[in-house]
Structures are given as C-alpha cells and as structure tokens.
Amino acid sequence: MVTTIQLQPATKSRLDDMKLHPRETYDETLNRLLDMAYDPEPLSEETLQRIEESIADMRAGRGRPFEDYVRERGL
C-alpha cells in the first residue's frame, strides 16, 4: 500500500538533506530516522534509579565542575 503525504517545501528540503545517497527513497530515509529516534528497549529499574540518584546528587551540590575533571586529566 502506498500513501501520499503533504510536506512543506522546507520539510522536503530537510528530508532530502538527510538521505544517505540520492537513490534512497523517502520511505527508507524516514524509517532510518525513526529507528534512530526510538529505542524499543526501555531502561531498567536499576538504571532509572541510578539516574534519579545522580540528579539528586547534582541538585545537592555533590559533584564537581566538568572543567575540574578535564583539567585533572590533562584534556
């Protein structure tokens, strides 16, 4: 089944710029982009908990500036 969609010229231009090669179809391009944007595997409860803990640490001032980290490692 084929469906026609309407795009603004600017949107079509952006989509054209996202093609990996000129012969890539819009369907292939859109599916590639959708696959990149959506991860069907949800984060584990453990990972979510660690993220929450890290956010709490940052809000409580338990951390150090990124610049200090870079300087310590000579980057």
Q: How far apart are CA 49 and CA 35, in angstroms?
A: 26
Angle between the 26-37 and 9-18 helix axes, to the nearest 10 degrees? 80
At residue 24, the pLDDT reads: 97
Per-residue pLDDT of the chain (75 residues; tens, 9 = 90+): 889 999 999 999 999 999 999 999 999 999 999 999 988 898 999 999 999 999 999 999 998 889 999 999 998
At residue 30, the pLDDT reads: 96
Residues 6+ apart with CB under 8 A from 71: none
